[in-house]
C-alpha cells in the first residue's frame, strides 16, 4: 500500500519554517515573515532546496564586492549594488540575509564616498576645461586649429566623470553653450568664405569672358590697354581654391597669349622669352660645381668641397621653386658635387698615407690615385652587396624599411661615381705615359 506524503506539518529552521504546505523566511531587520515557496515532497527537502538557493545570493554579493575591488571605474557599480539589494529583499531563499545586506551597506558607503570625492575632482577638472574651451572658442587665429583644439577638449570632457547634481546644469550647460556657439559661428564663417570665393570666381569668369572677346579684337591699342588691366585685375581678385581656378587660368592664359601674339605681329615686335632668374641662378650653380673638380691638391680640393656644400644648400632652396628646371642640369650638378666629395675623401686618404703626394710627378700621383680608388671601389661594392642582400629579404616590406632602400641607392651612386673617377684617372695616366 502506497504512503501519501501530506506536506502540512510545521517544521522550523534557523531562518525559516514550513507551515500548511508552504515555506516561510523568518522576518529580520523589521521585515515580517515572508512566504518564499511551497513544499513539493517533504518539509526537509523543501527547506534544503531554499537553503541551497541562499548560496546563490551569497555568491552574487561576494562577486559584486570582488568586481568593485578590481574595477577602475568603481563608481559605475553603485546602480548594480542598489539593484542587488532590492533583489535580496525579495529573494526566495533560506539563510542569514542581514550580514549580506550589511556587506552591501558598507560597500555602498564606500562607493558613495568615492563618487563624492571623484565628483569634487571632476568639478575641478571640468571647470578648468570650461575655461580652456572658452579661450579656444573666443581667440580664433585659425578656425581649423580652433576646431581641432575644441574637439581635443571635448574628448577630455567626455572622459571625465559626472559632477554633483547641484553643479550639473551650470557645468554641462556651460560647455554645451560655448561649444554650440563656436560651431554656429564656424558655420557662419565658412558660409561667408564660400560666398566670397563664389564672388571671386564670378569675377574671374568675367575677366576670362572679356579676355576671350578681346583676343580677336582689331582695335589693338585699346585692347592692349584693357588686356593689361585684366591681367592686373586677375592678380587682385584674391585667393581661391587652385583646382577650381586652374581651368579658368588656362583659358585666360590662352586668350592673352593669342592676343599678344597678334599684337606683336601687327607691331612688328619680336618678343624675347622671359628667363626665370631663379632658373638662371641654378644653371650658374651647376656650372660652378663642374669647375670644382679641376684639382686634387689638398688645400684646393678641401676648399672645393666646402664650396660644393654651400652650392648644395642653395640648390636645395631654389630647385623646388623652379618648375622648368632641366633634369639633365640637375643630374650634372649632383654628379659634380658627388665627384668633389669623393675626390676630397680620396685626397685625405692619400694625404695620410703619402704626405709628399703633391711633390710627386704627375704619373706617380695618378698611379697612387688609381691604386687607392680601386681599393675604395672594392670596399664600397662589398658594402653594396650586403645592402642588396638585406634589400632582397625585405622587398615585401617597402614601407617598413624605406631608410634601407635609401641607403642602397646612395651606395650605388657612390660606387658609380668612384668607378667614373677611376676611369678618368686611368685615361689621364695613358696620356702621361
pLDDT in tens, 132-184: 988 888 887 788 888 898 899 999 988 888 888 888 888 889 989 999 998 99
Q: Which of 200-204, 321-325, 407-411 has the highest mean pLDDT?
A: 200-204
Which candidate, 110, 28, 97, places its Cα nearest to that of 65? 110
Sign of the four-CA dihedral 102, 107, 112, 113: positive
pLDDT over threshold 90, residue 305: no
Give pTM, 2 decimals: 0.49
Cα separation of the two ends of the chain: 137
Quote the CA–CA distance of 128 and 320 in Å, as a whole number.
Answer: 45
Phi first, then psi, for residue 22 (nearest 5°) are -125, 155
pLDDT tens per residue across span 174-224: 989 999 998 999 999 889 989 999 999 999 999 999 999 998 998 989 999
pLDDT over threshold 90, residue 308: no
Q: What is the mean pLDDT of residues 31-54?
A: 91
pLDDT over threshold 80, residue 125: yes
pLDDT over threshold 80, residue 284: yes
* Strand 11-12 relative to strand 16-19, pairing: antiparallel
pLDDT over threshold 90, residue 296: no
pLDDT tens per residue across span 334-370: 888 898 888 888 888 888 888 888 888 888 888 888 8
Question: Which set of grid coordinates corresponds to residue 217?
Answer: 579684337
pLDDT band at 403 (very low <50, low <70, confident <90, very high): low
Q: What is the 3-state secondary structure (H, E, C) of the chain?
A: CCCCCCCCCCEECCCEEEECCEEEECCCCCCCCEEEEECCCCHHHHHHHHHHHHHHHHHHHHHHHHHHHHCCCHHHHHHHHHHHHHHHHCCCCCCCHHHHHHHHHHHHHHHHHHHHHHHHHHHHHHHHHHHHHHHHHHCCCCHHHHHHHHHHHHHHHHHCCCCCHHHHHHHHHHHHHHHHHHHHHHHHHHHHHHHHHHHHHHHHHHHHHHHHHHCCCCCHHHHHHHHHHHHHHHHHCCCCCHHHHHHHHHHHHHHHHHHHHHHHHHHCCCCCCCCCHHHHHHHHHHHHHHCCCCCCCHHHHHHHHHHHHHHHHHHHHHHHHCCCCCHHHHHHHHHHHHHHHHHHHHHHHHHHHCCCHHHCCHHHHHHHHHHHHHHHHHHHHHHHHHHHHHHHHCCCCCHHHHHHHHHHHHHHHHHHHHHHHHHHHHHHHHHHC
CA 317 to chain CA mean position, Å? 26
Rounded to 10°, the helix 165-214/220-236 angle is: 170
Quote the CA–CA distance of 393 and 200 in Å, as a whole number.
Answer: 55
* Strand 22-25 relative to strand 11-12, pairing: unpaired
Residues 6+ apart with CB under 8 A from 269: 263
Q: Hey, where are the domains in the chain?
A: 11-117, 276-356, 360-433
Cβ(252)–Cβ(211) below 8 Å: yes
Sign of the four-CA dihedral 370, 376, 380, 381: positive
- As a whole number, the mean pLDDT across the chain is 86
Which candidate, 30, 28, 27, 11, places its Cα nearest to that of 19? 11
pLDDT band at 400 (very low <50, low <70, confident <90, very high): very low
Amino acid at each position: 500500500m502506497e504512503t501519501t506524503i501530506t506536506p502540512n506539518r510545521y517544521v522550523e529552521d534557523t531562518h525559516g519554517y514550513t507551515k500548511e504546505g508552504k515555506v516561510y523566511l523568518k522576518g529580520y531587520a523589521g521585515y515580517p515573515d515572508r512566504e518564499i515557496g511551497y513544499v513539493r515532497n517533504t518539509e526537509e527537502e523543501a527547506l534544503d532546496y531554499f537553503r541551497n538557493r541562499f548560496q546563490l545570493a551569497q555568491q552574487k554579493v561576494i562577486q559584486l564586492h570582488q568586481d568593485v575591488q578590481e574595477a577602475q571605474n568603481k563608481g559605475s557599480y553603485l546602480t548594480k549594488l542598489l539593484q542587488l539589494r532590492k533583489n535580496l529583499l525579495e529573494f526566495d531563499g533560506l539563510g542569514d540575509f542581514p550580514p549580506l545586506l550589511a556587506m552591501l551597506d558598507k560597500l555602498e558607503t564606500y562607493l558613495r564616498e568615492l563618487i563624492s570625492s571623484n565628483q569634487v575632482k571632476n568639478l575641478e577638472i571640468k571647470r578648468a576645461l570650461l575655461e580652456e574651451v572658452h579661450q579656444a572658442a573666443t581667440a580664433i587665429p585659425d578656425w581649423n586649429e580652433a576646431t581641432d583644439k575644441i574637439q581635443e577638449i571635448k574628448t577630455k570632457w567626455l572622459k571625465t566623470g559626472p559632477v554633483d547634481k547641484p553643479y550639473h546644469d551650470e557645468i554641462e550647460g556651460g560647455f554645451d553653450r560655448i561649444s554650440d556657439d563656436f560651431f554656429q559661428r564656424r558655420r557662419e564663417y565658412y558660409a561667408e568664405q564660400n560666398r566670397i570665393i563664389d564672388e571671386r570666381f564670378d569675377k574671374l569668369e568675367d575677366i576670362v569672358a572679356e579676355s576671350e572677346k578681346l583676343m580677336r579684337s582689331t582695335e589693338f591699342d585699346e585692347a592692349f590697354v584693357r588686356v593689361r588691366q585684366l591681367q592686373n585685375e586677375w592678380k587682385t581678385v584674391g585667393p581661391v581654391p587652385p583646382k577650381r581656378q586652374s581651368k579658368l587660368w588656362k583659358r585666360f592664359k590662352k586668350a592673352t597669349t593669342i592676343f599678344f601674339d597678334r599684337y606683336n605681329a601687327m607691331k612688328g615686335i619680336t618678343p624675347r622669352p622671359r628667363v626665370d632668374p631663379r632658373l638662371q641662378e641654378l644653371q650658374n650653380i651647376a656650372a660652378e660645381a663642374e669647375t670644382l673638380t679641376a684639382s686634387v691638391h689638398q688645400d684646393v680640393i678641401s676648399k672645393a668641397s666646402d664650396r660644393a656644400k654651400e652650392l648644395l644648400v642653395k640648390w636645395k632652396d631654389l630647385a623646388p621653386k623652379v618648375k622648368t628646371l632641366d633634369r639633365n642640369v640637375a643630374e650634372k650638378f649632383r654628379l659634380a658635387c658627388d665627384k668633389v666629395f669623393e675626390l676630397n675623401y680620396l685626397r685625405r686618404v692619400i694625404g695620410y698615407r703619402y704626405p709628399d703626394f703633391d711633390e710627386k710627378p704627375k704619373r706617380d700621383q695618378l698611379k697612387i690615385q688609381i691604386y687607392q680608388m680601386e681599393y675604395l671601389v672594392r670596399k664600397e661594392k662589398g658594402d653594396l652587396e650586403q645592402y642588396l642582400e638585406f634589400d632582397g629579404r625585405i622587398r615585401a616590406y617597402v614601407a617598413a624599411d624605406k631608410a634601407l632602400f635609401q641607403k642602397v641607392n646612395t651606395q650605388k651612386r657612390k660606387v658609380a661615381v668612384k668607378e667614373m673617377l677611376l676611369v678618368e684617372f686611368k685615361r689621364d695616366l695613358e696620356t702621361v705615359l
